[in-house]
Amino acid sequence: MLLAAGGDVDFMIHGLFKYELFGQELWITTTHVSILVVMLVLMVFAVAANYKIRHADEVPGGFQNIVELIVEFLDKMVYGSMGKNGKKFLNYIGSLFLFILVSNISGLFGLRAPTADYGVTLPLGLMTFAIIQYNNIKYNKFGAFTGLFKPLPFLFPINLIGEIAVPFSLSLRLFGNVLSGTVMMSLIYSLLSRFAIGWPGILHIYFDVFSGAIQTYVFCMLTMVYTTDKMPE
Amino acid sequence: MSDRGLVLACSAIGAGLAMIAGIGPGIGQGIAAGYGASAVGRNPGAKSDIMSTMLLGQAVAETTGLYGLAIAFILLFANPLLGKL
């Protein structure tokens, strides 16, 4: 059903390996492979960083500097927008940030970015939704439900939709941005394959690095904003 | 023209029309960036706060455009209308 410019424009998810589970036909796709590569990279990085920090030097240099830079950046971002509530969320936001960032940038290394698959971003959005609603009920008790009827009772449907739309708008935003980058890059590589020498690198910087970093930041910021919104001051 | 061809052609036109949704977020993000720039000009000390607020607002404004993009992608790659033939 590839409608746009038939032929060798290729940015779809491919099935690599088929297996059956409880009568369902399931596929191992390119998304699984790239997500495994991303996880492997993050794990190796985490182990190396852990080893380095355990054997930290007095004057940091090289790798230790990078690790400290990342941790300080995440600390600043989380505490800056969540205040004293930030301590409990640092783990979640930090791992979310690193995972989405490395996923988005993986397009640079020839992988199909895992976040360009709605099956990856929707669970991320649903996880955020679960955290938001857990904190909503934890801090507001019964007010989580009566809050839907404020300021006026007949606004209940709109408030309900506003709550439920959060995971979908979060995940669609990330998915749409990364997918549009992937589509643009593959269009350039397949339609202009003769001329695409060197200069698409500039577009890679925009579509993969810049847009990916912005969307990562926005996803984490929105998660924090929505969560802080439900907490008492 | 076959039925299938008609549906495919109209889907392609519909996908193009759906991307008109990109106008709104473009204007909105431009306005946000303009006011962000003037705010930095007035108060350069608060640059990082202004930047993060601006990016957040732009990302929310972008959502409507992405809904249009999602519709265009659905029409092109997972066309629900072809199943009704």
pLDDT computed for residue A20 by the predictor: 80
The three-state DSSP-derived secondary structure of A2-17 is: CCCCCCCCCCCCCEEE
- Cβ within 8 Å, pair A3-B66: no
Which residues in A have their CB inside 8 Å of a CB on B?
Answer: 1-4, 12, 81, 169, 172-173, 176-177, 179-180, 214-215, 217-218, 221-222, 225
- Cβ within 8 Å, pair B8-A3: yes
The reported pTM is 0.85
| Coil, helix or strand at residue B31 | helix
Q: How far apart are CA A78 and CA A94, in angstroms?
A: 8
pLDDT computed for residue A16 by the predictor: 79
pLDDT computed for residue A140 by the predictor: 87
pLDDT computed for residue B64 by the predictor: 86
- DSSP labels for A111-161? SPPGGGSHHHHHHHHHHHHHHHHHHHHHHHTTHHHHGGG-S-GGGHHHHHH
Q: Taking residues B55-84, report their average pLDDT.
A: 86
Tens-of-pLDDT digits for all 233 residues of chain A?
333 444 566 777 777 778 888 878 888 888 888 999 999 999 999 999 999 888 877 777 788 889 999 999 999 989 888 888 888 889 999 999 999 999 999 888 888 888 988 889 999 999 999 999 999 999 888 887 888 887 888 888 898 998 898 999 899 889 988 888 888 888 888 877 777 778 888 888 888 898 899 899 999 999 998 898 888 76
pLDDT computed for residue A127 by the predictor: 93
pLDDT computed for residue A5 by the predictor: 43
Residues of chain A in contact with residue B29, where contact means CB-CB under 8 angstroms, are none
| ipTM of the prediction greater than 0.85, yes or no | no
pLDDT computed for residue A3 by the predictor: 37
Nearest to A221 among B56, B66, B69 (CB): B56
Q: How far apart are CA A119 and CA A38, in angstroms?
A: 16
Nearest to B56 among A3, A172, A218 (CB): A218
pLDDT computed for residue A192 by the predictor: 78
Mean pLDDT of chain B: 89
- Residue A226, token pair as written in the block: 């929505």
Structure-token match 């008609």, residue found: B6
CA A80 to chain CA centroid, nearest Å: 20
- DSSP labels for A70-107? HHHHHHHHHHHHHGGGHHHHHHHHHHHHHHHHHHHHGG
